[in-house]
Structure 1
Amino acid sequence: MRNYWIDALSPLVFRSGKPFGAQSDTHDIAFPLPSAAAGLVRTCVMRQNGWHDLSNEQSAQLNRIAAHGLFLARQRADGETVLLLPKPADALYLRHPDTQETLLVRLSPRAADADCGSDLPAGLLPVRMSAEHEHLNGKPQSGAKYWCAEDFAKWQNGAALSFDTVKQNGANDLPTETRTHTAVDAQSGAAKDAQLFQTTAYDFSPAAKKRQEGGGWQPHRYGFVIRTEQDLAEGLVCFGGEGRLSRLHALAQDAGAAFAAPSDAAGVRLTLLTPAIFKNGWLPGWLDEKTLCGTFPHTDVRVKLRAAALERWQPVSGWDLHRHQPKAMRKAVPAGSVYWLECETGGAAALADAAGKALSDHPQDRLDGFGIAALAAWTPPQAA
């Protein structure tokens, strides 16, 4: 796949869908959906082909173009680009009651006591802390929302990481900018009295480098990476709302190292890197609702769901440029959610063809990049 870097020349507007108000904050901005990447790729192809008023055939041809992203990335002054992936839901930031140190605790499926009162579907295991950390009490702490690809890969392979390491190498609050706007009278072109509103946008522009705690400026800047088979022309593009300009660059390096095939094991841990859309809500449609068994997408391997750690559902909508109408709102499983699956035929290594591919139910959602997942080997617990 080809890799492209989106270099934002102006703050990027991605609305959360909340109505405009007089005041705006970081809750009014949403991380761009995979469909934004797919839309940008297809718009570039449309312009390269000289298409304007799309026919139904041209629209169908564009919809068949696959795009993977968007992935947050950080680019150093030397041009090296590092992917920043969403924090996996099986990682918990927890403060130690004695030392007050924030720990990075791994969650995993473990059988519960028979009288624990669990109402999980038959066959599903609860996701718990290890016995080593079960004595820790308190609420989860805030921390890095995005992990660098290297730390993410280590976590996938079972390595121990510290909270400080993940915080230093990752990212939490992305740079934003809030602008105040006024409504304009269409006839006079003058501002309307008492009709002010604000918008908040991601500010990844060259002037947005933050000052470091120790002095000086950070030696990197943020942007987005898109992966696609299409050969796109480099240059200026409109990305996000308000027609803000960005520059599209082809990356010489491959950003796909995070999607390496899993080693062999009796099970697999699936971590979503982009939101996924399933017809049964949190449960993939390729799994039977009663038995929790099914065939893993892009393979012929039979798997059984053993556990899941999910974040709160995410609304997905948008605007249909071809039909000139809003798209229906759907609920997506957010990026970072984790599914533990036991292989009933074959093993985790047999899922190599599915590594880095979209796993949503509908073919169009897969082409739009919903449900890109990282796969890691996992050993299911022995039955009691």
Structure 2
Amino acid sequence: MRYKLTTDEVLILRDGRPFGDSGIFGGISLKWPYPQTIAGMVRTSVGLKQDECYFDQSDKREENLEKILSIGISKILPSAFLNNQWTPLMPVPADLVFTENENNEYLNVNPILYKSIEDSSGTDIKNRLWMIPSVDLRTKPAKEIPFFTHWIFFQKYLAGKLTSDTAFSFQDIGINLPIHDFRVHNAIDNNTYVTEESRLFSNNGFYMKSKSGSILIDLAIFFDVTNADVNISGDAYLGGERKRVVLTKSESEFVKIPDYFENKKFLKIILTTQGDFGGWCPEWLLPNFDAETIEWVNIPGTNFEIRLRSACVNGWEGVSGWDFAKKQPKSMKKLVRPGAVYLIEIKDVNQSSDIAKYLWGCNLFSKKNENNGYGQCIIGLAEVEETV
């Protein structure tokens, strides 16, 4: 089933960092919803559309729990309304470095090259098959870069058509952060219903529009539900603050895979949603850096053999949430940010196209979170300078 999420309200979403950290009160406000937040919204909507008391039926609790958790988010795709049409949006890849152009209206784009470790390299990595991301820069990275990239620009990146110091306007690359909203409120005394002196609290949120205000953003959601008759069109509520969003049925298609992956030795896996791997990489793909070689591994559920040769990971994000089964908050965990890049080598180059098709738009097989929309990825060509 496919739905489009839109809203004119300010969305207030927080991560799962513990209260009391330096400079943090009630968690850090998010700039964009996590996949599990969207999954929770969909499951809640499906349940309430069937029965207003769906989540309060003690005699059917276990049955309802099993049904509602079987609903899985298969794909998530944001898009922006540009030039009188909707165009898909993608995260900024971690292996692109942006520098400021002499003309302030432009950014220079510098793709990272993956190189073999040379004998003279100053590194403590024992495994000589691991490749080092490298970029030759003469200036500092740009202070402000897009929050999302346009699909047209992203296609050039996937096809390896970006060269060092290529200049693009900010608008041609993508869009900036959604409109930020910060409000300070007075606390109200429950007895007198008047403001209490020196008691303030703030809400920090965003609108699904770009800073310019002229670019609208929506979110296409693809999910599987056992009861095909359930129609969740209408109002829904997103996140712990239960901000109102609108869901409408959509004919949106996920971005289509290009046809240039035949007979490729190296490919790149790019995360388009957060990765929930328990570390910086899926455990099944993680190599042993103390070994002299990198072992081939099977993509789970297939006979395709690949191995990880390098990676560009752009940090982590904290997440918590509410555990419906245990009726308690979830413990915080760290997610890999969207845009992370994993360079893989294909054992049989004749299978490279089939591997690309298999991985395109799927998740990276984190079994415990396969239904929550985490680890969604697409595939691109890789620029490699291999000497080993």
Tell me the TM-score normalised to structure 1 length.
0.84
Q: 1:253: Cα distance to partner? A: 3.0
User: % of aligned pairs identical?
Assistant: 20
Q: 1:143: Cα distance to partner? A: 1.3
CA RMSD across the alignment: 3.0
What does residue 298 of structure 2 align with?
Answer: 295
Task: Answer whether contact 1:260 1:356 (CA < 8 A) is retained.
Answer: no
Task: Answer whether contact 1:275 1:334 (CA < 8 A) is retained.
Answer: yes
CA deviation map 1:74-119 (0-9, x unaligned): 13595x32221110011110246x8887410001211243222112
Structure 2 SS opposite 1:197: strand
Q: Could you tell me which amino acid in structure 2 is paired with residue 63 of structure 1?
A: L
* Structure 2, unaligned runs of 5 or more: 289-293
Q: 1:339: Cα distance to partner? A: 0.4
- Partners of 1:341 and 1:11 lie apart in 2 by 40
Given candidates 61, 67, 79, the residue that maps to 1:61 is 67
Given candidates 377, 381, 385, the residue that maps to 1:373 is 377
What does residue 151 of structure 1 align with?
Answer: 153
What does residue 344 of structure 1 align with?
Answer: 347
Judged with a 3 Å threshold, the aligned counterparts in structure 2 of structure 1 residues 282 and 81 are, in CA distance, closer, same or farther, namely same
- Partners of 2:188 and 2:103 lie apart in 1 by 57
Matched, 1:276 2:275: yes
Q: 1:69: Cα distance to partner? A: 5.2
Matched, 1:73 2:87: no
Q: 1:381: Cα distance to partner? A: 4.1
Judged with a 3 Å threshold, the aligned counterparts in structure 2 of structure 1 residues 165 and 121 are, in CA distance, closer, same or farther, namely farther
Matched, 1:317 2:312: no
CA deviation map 1:209-267 (0-9, x unaligned): 765xxxxx72x31232222234543101111342221111122231x115567622122
What does residue 226 of structure 1 align with?
Answer: 221
- Partners of 1:261 and 1:12 lie apart in 2 by 38
Tell me the TM-score normalised to structure 2 length.
0.83
Q: Could you tell me which amino acid in structure 1 is paired with residue 157 of structure 2?
A: W
Deviates more, 1:340-349 or 1:265-274: 340-349
Judged with a 3 Å threshold, the aligned counterparts in structure 2 of structure 1 residues 237 and 76 are, in CA distance, closer, same or farther, namely farther
Deviates more, 1:304-313 or 1:293-302: 293-302
Deviates more, 1:142-151 or 1:162-171: 162-171
Task: Answer whether contact 2:309 2:345 (CA < 8 A) is retained.
Answer: yes
Q: 1:70: Cα distance to partner? A: 4.6
Q: 1:174: Cα distance to partner? A: 1.3
Judged with a 3 Å threshold, the aligned counterparts in structure 2 of structure 1 residues 210 and 353 are, in CA distance, closer, same or farther, namely closer
- Partners of 1:22 and 1:160 lie apart in 2 by 40
Number of residue equivalences: 364
CA deviation map 1:168-188 (0-9, x unaligned): 351122112112223233344
CA deviation map 1:183-210 (0-9, x unaligned): 2333444332211111111123xxx676
Q: Could you tell me which amino acid in structure 1 is paired with residue 337 of structure 2?
A: P
Q: 1:326: Cα distance to partner? A: 0.8
Task: Answer whether contact 1:357 1:372 (CA < 8 A) is retained.
Answer: yes
Q: Could you tell me which amino acid in structure 1 is paired with residue 284 of structure 2?
A: W
What does residue 111 of structure 2 align with?
Answer: 106
What does residue 332 of structure 1 align with?
Answer: 335
Instruction: Kindly indicate which of the two structures has a greater share of residues assigned to strand.
Output: 2
What does residue 202 of structure 2 align with?
Answer: 198
- Partners of 2:329 and 2:308 lie apart in 1 by 35
Task: Answer whether contact 1:86 1:146 (CA < 8 A) is retained.
Answer: yes
Deviates more, 1:372-381 or 1:40-49: 372-381
Task: Answer whether contact 2:187 2:199 (CA < 8 A) is retained.
Answer: yes
What does residue 261 of structure 2 align with?
Answer: 263
* Structure 1, unaligned runs of 5 or more: 212-216
- Partners of 2:123 and 2:142 lie apart in 1 by 22
What does residue 214 of structure 1 align with?
Answer: none
Q: 1:124: Cα distance to partner? A: 1.0
Task: Answer whether contact 2:270 2:342 (CA < 8 A) is retained.
Answer: yes
1:61-210 matches, within 5 Å, as 61-68=67-74, 70-75=76-81, 78=84, 80-95=85-100, 102-122=107-127, 123-129=129-135, 134=136, 136-160=138-162, 162-165=166-169, 167-204=171-208
Deviates more, 1:191-200 or 1:45-54: 45-54
Q: Could you tell me which amino acid in structure 1 is paired with residue 202 of structure 2?
A: Q
Q: 1:148: Cα distance to partner? A: 1.1
- Partners of 1:262 and 1:227 lie apart in 2 by 26
Q: 1:158: Cα distance to partner? A: 1.1
